[in-house]
Amino acid sequence: MKVLELKNLVKIYNDSAVKVTAVDGISLSFEQGEFAAIVGPSGSGKTTLLNLIGGLDSITEGEIIINGTNISNLSSSKLIDYRLHNIGFVFQAYNLIPVLTAKENIEFIMELQGKKRTERNQRAMELLKAVGLEDRAYSRPSKMSGGQQQRVAVARALASKPKFILADEPTANLDSKSTETLLNIMERLNIEENITFIFSTHDQRVVNKARRVITVEDGHVVSDEKRV
């Protein structure tokens, strides 16, 4: 089943003196259950592409269709609501609310969705278990390692039961051991729960785990290879 389709996507940054075409006519489609890496040199447009897919930035041209819904023309407030219910995000850093515990951070999303307390509580614990952090449920982010924080971020991204998870360089700030743990968790969730992950990375070890590697350069897709 097709979860995401990009049609001739263009993003031009016009705000500075020079026009920057960060994404230059990208068309891609993703199936349910993919584990796809977007790679490319710095400045090639990975973050911009992920931001467009996630509805975080305005599209200059083209269309994004998520599960049959064209999100290209949604107003910014409709987009926020759309993101809340359909897309999970993991960023490179600053993923968590520092004043909330791991469990509260996960519950927060569900509260925004209007889920009941008992459901929130149960699902948060399940997710913490899934990322192997049930013993850190009541720790605040400042008391956790970078790797643990990213695992909580993955759990948080899953909390809203999104159609797919977008992760922009989720391992960029992690050491190799934490990177491996995080990737194993993501891979397991992908295989066992059929959760779609689309992530960008610079890290070859991360690329090696991916079952689809999309290489972008200067805003163009230069290769799109699927592995088995």
Partner 1 sequence: MIWSVSWRNIWRNRTRSLVIITAIALGVFAGVYTIAFMFGWVNQRIDSVIHTEISHIQVHQSQYLETYEVHDYISDVESMQEKILKEPDVKAVSSRIIATCMITSAETGAGVQLVGIDPENEKQITNIYTKVIDGAYFEGVKSNPIVIGEKLAQKLKVKVRSKIVVTITEMDGTITGGAFRVAGIYKTANTAYDEMKAFVKADDLRNLLKIDENAGHEIAILLKDNNMEDQVLTKLKSLYPEFQILKWTEILPDMKMMTESMNFMMYIFVVIILLALGFGIVNTMLMVILERVKELGMLMAVGMNKVRVFSMIVLETVFLSITGGFLGILIALVLVALTAHTGLDLTFWAEGLNSLGFDAVIYPEIGLKDVIVVAILVVLTGIISAIYPARKAIHLNPAEALRIDM
CB of 204 to ligand ATP, least distance (A): 14
Site for Mg ion in 146-175 (CB under 5 A): none
Partner that binds at residue 129, options Mg ion, partner 1, ligand ATP, none, CB closer than 5 to 8 Å by kind: none
Partner that binds at residue 43, options Mg ion, partner 1, ligand ATP, none, CB closer than 5 to 8 Å by kind: ligand ATP
Site for ligand ATP in 29-58 (CB under 6 A): 40, 42-48
Q: Which of 22, 28, 110, 159 contacts ligand ATP by CB under 6 A?
A: 22
Partner that binds at residue 42, options partner 1, Mg ion, ligand ATP, none, CB closer than 5 to 8 Å by kind: ligand ATP
CB of 150 to ligand ATP, least distance (A): 17
| Residue 66 or 214 with smaller CB distance to ligand ATP | 214
The structure tokens listed for 96 are 């968590």
Compute φ and ψ for 102, nearest 5 degrees. Answer: -55, -50
Q: Which of 47, 101, 105, 171 contacts Mg ion by CB under 5 A?
A: 47
Query: What residue ranges bind partner 1 (CB under 8 A)?
Result: 47, 51, 54, 56-57, 77, 80-81, 83-85, 89, 91, 94-95, 97-100, 104, 107-109, 111-113, 156-157, 160
The count of chain residues that interact with ligand ATP, using the rule CB under 6 A, is 13
Q: Of 205, 66, 161, 189, nearest to 197 (Cα)?
A: 189
CB of 56 to Mg ion, least distance (A): 13
| Residue 2 or 85 with smaller CB distance to partner 1 | 85
Q: Report the distance separating Cα 49 and Cα 168, nearest Å.
A: 10
Q: Of 126, 101, 121, nearest to 110 (Cα)?
A: 121
Q: Site residues (CB under 6 A) for ligand ATP?
A: 13, 15-16, 20, 22, 40, 42-48
